[in-house]
Amino acid sequence: MLLLLILFPLVIAAISLAVPWYQARSWLLPAGSALHLLLSVLLAIGHFPATGSWIGLDALSRLVLVVTSLLFFGCALYAVGYLDIRRDRGNRIMVPCLLIFLSAMTLAVSARHLGLMWMAVEATTISSAPLIYFNCNRLSIEATWKYLLICSVGIALAMLGILFIAYAALGGGSPVSLQLDTLLANATSLSRPWLHAGFIFLLVGFGTKMGLAPLHTWKPDAYGEAPGLVGALLAGGLTSVAFLAILRGVQLMTAAGDGDMARQVLLGMGLFSLMLAAIFMVRQPDIKRMLAYSSVEHMGLLAIGVGIGGPATFGAMLHLINNALTKGGLFLAAGNIQRAYDSKCISEIRGAIVTLPISGTLFLAGFLAISGSPPFGPFVSKFTLLRGIFGSDRLVVGMLVLLCLAIVFIGMGTTVLAATQGEPEQKSPLFRDRPLLYLSPLCFILLVLLLGVYIPEPLQAALHQAAALLEVQP
């Protein structure tokens, strides 16, 4: 069943290359992603077994699988309307690349072998590069090459980390295997110096894909120049997959008895990411680059949550869901605003709520959500994370996080309010709200609002199970 989940997007991608009708090719995206979401939910709730030595699901991968599948379905539905108004660029490349990207993310999430996981993460880089270049201009080609070069170097470093972990097994007298369950079972016998080196290289390599500072330099350009739906998938989907890859390293370090070291390194990188994002979001003139630095901020929060441990880990797991859905809504709404004004610079955008009543309102609501305002879901996850920080007597860390969040709120609020409020300068916008282009961001924001009011019991159980997996000692 899990193998079917990985392979059938590739089959649909091949079909899309053979289909001669433009609109039919576009509708293959939501049709295929709807089936993918259904199968993901069935696997997550345990109706089908999903275990194996090469691929399988545990509590962490189930959570990330459902989140990425849900995000992709919303973006696929949005893509139908988007590609309809971008017929000048065609969809013969975007549709198959999106489906291959979905398959690669699914494989990376379900991989139980470090080598297979590495290969799948690299496949996400290759399949998403043409998506960033979709607009085919000077800035998009520059962003694409920066994305390819930086992420490929990061992935190469991750490969070194995997080799070091294999050598740790050889040096410790354990069976040499990159299968995750075998490594966890023999973690206490691994050579510590090689294991530590392997974890650091894994963190740097997959941290590049996740966008932790100072490894984030590809994000502002890639998010800024890619279409809104691609930015949503990168910020909410790819980052979650890369975070899961890092968590595999944390699991291994914890099983070996060195979880404290892994958490300290994560905490340091998380704090640095949060501080850097807070600085660069002040007076940010580009709404998409602002969202890119917001992504750096929230990746830092995820790292801080896992770095602190305990209740903060539960907060990080919940924040992973909230961040993916909110970023999806923000990027899709920002794409609509950019289309209406033919610009993403704040100097040329005024009165977005007047010009685009639905998309402009969703962009403002998304800002309130992502900044941690009640009653939205990120408020609950951030509050849980902060409670974990202060509950562990990390007063300095907690005050630093609060200070950075306050700076982010002020900086981001200045840009968002300037874009959405006031009277538009142009009387006849280039684009008006369309149902297919606001339905997905509307659903994402409503889901985030629901998670701020009520967390269903099955989701709470899944979050606790995912957090517990990172706390297991040998």
Question: What local confidence, expressed as pLDDT, does residue 48 receive?
Answer: 58
Q: Is residue 411 in some structural domain?
A: yes
Would residue 104 count as lying in a domain? no
What's the confidence (pLDDT) of residue 432?
84
Non-local (6+) Cβ contacts of 165 within 8 A are: 114, 178, 183, 190, 194, 195, 198, 199, 202, 252
pTM of the model: 0.95
Parent domain of 383: 258-474
For residue 155, is it within any domain? no
Q: Any idea what the Cα angle at residue 83 is, between residues 81 and 89, rounded to 5°?
A: 160
Q: Is the residue at 2 inside a domain?
A: no
| Among candidate residues 361, 306, 303, the one with its CA nearest the CA of residue 329 | 361
Alpha-carbon dihedral angle through residues 94, 95, 100, 105, given to the nearest 10 degrees:
80
Residue 66 parent element (H or E): helix 59-85
Query: Which is it for the CA torsion 138, 82, 105, 31, positive or negative?
Result: negative
Q: Which residues contact 438 (CB under 8 A, 6 or more apart)?
A: 333, 336, 358, 359, 362
Residues whose CB falls within 8 Å of the CB of residue 463, separated by 6 or more in sequence, listed in order:
63, 314, 317, 318, 455
385's tokens: 């994370």
Q: What angle in degrees, to the nearest 10, is found between the helix axes of 259-280 and 395-420? A: 30
The pLDDT value recorded for residue 342 is 87
118 within 8 A of 206, measured Cβ to Cβ:
no
For residue 345, the SS3 value is strand
pLDDT score, position 174 = 66
CA atoms within 13 A on the CB side of 385: 31
Nearest residue to 94 via CA among 209, 5, 9, 13:
13
What number of other Cβ atoms are within 10 A of residue 230's Cβ? 28
- Is 401 part of any domain? yes
Q: How many CB atoms lie within 10 A of CB 208?
A: 25
CA end-to-end span of the chain, whole Å?
31
- 327 touches 295 (CB < 8 A): yes
Number of domains in the chain: 1
Q: Residue 456: how many CA atoms within 13 Å on its side-chain side?
A: 6
> Mean pLDDT of successive 10-residue segments in the chain (474 residues)?
92 93 94 95 76 84 95 96 91 94 96 94 94 92 94 94 91 77 89 93 95 92 94 95 95 91 95 95 92 95 94 95 96 94 89 92 96 94 95 94 96 93 77 90 97 93 92 55
| pLDDT for res 470 | 87
**Which pLDDT score is estimated for 9?**
95
Q: Which residues are bridge partners to 286 per DSSP? A: 345
DSSP 143-197: HHHHHHHHHHHHHHHHHHHHHHHHHHHHHTTS----BHHHHHHTGGGS-HHHHHH
| b/e map 62-81, b = 16+ CB within 10 Å | bbbbbbbbbbbbbbbbbbbb
Answer yes or no: are the C-beta atoms of 441 and 359 closer than 8 Å: yes
Query: Does some domain include residue 320?
Result: yes
Q: Give the pLDDT confidence score for residue 51 in this predicted structure.
A: 65
- Convert 443-454 to b/e letters by CB count within 10 Å (16 or more is b): bbbebbeebbee
Q: What is the pLDDT of residue 425?
A: 76
pLDDT value for 474: 40
**Residue at 463 is within a domain:** yes
pLDDT confidence of residue 330: 96
Q: What are phi and psi of 345, to 5 degrees?
A: -90, 135
419 CA to centre of own chain: 25
Local structure of 386: helix, strand or coil: helix
Asked whether residue 279 is assigned to any structural domain, the reply reads yes
pLDDT at 347: 86
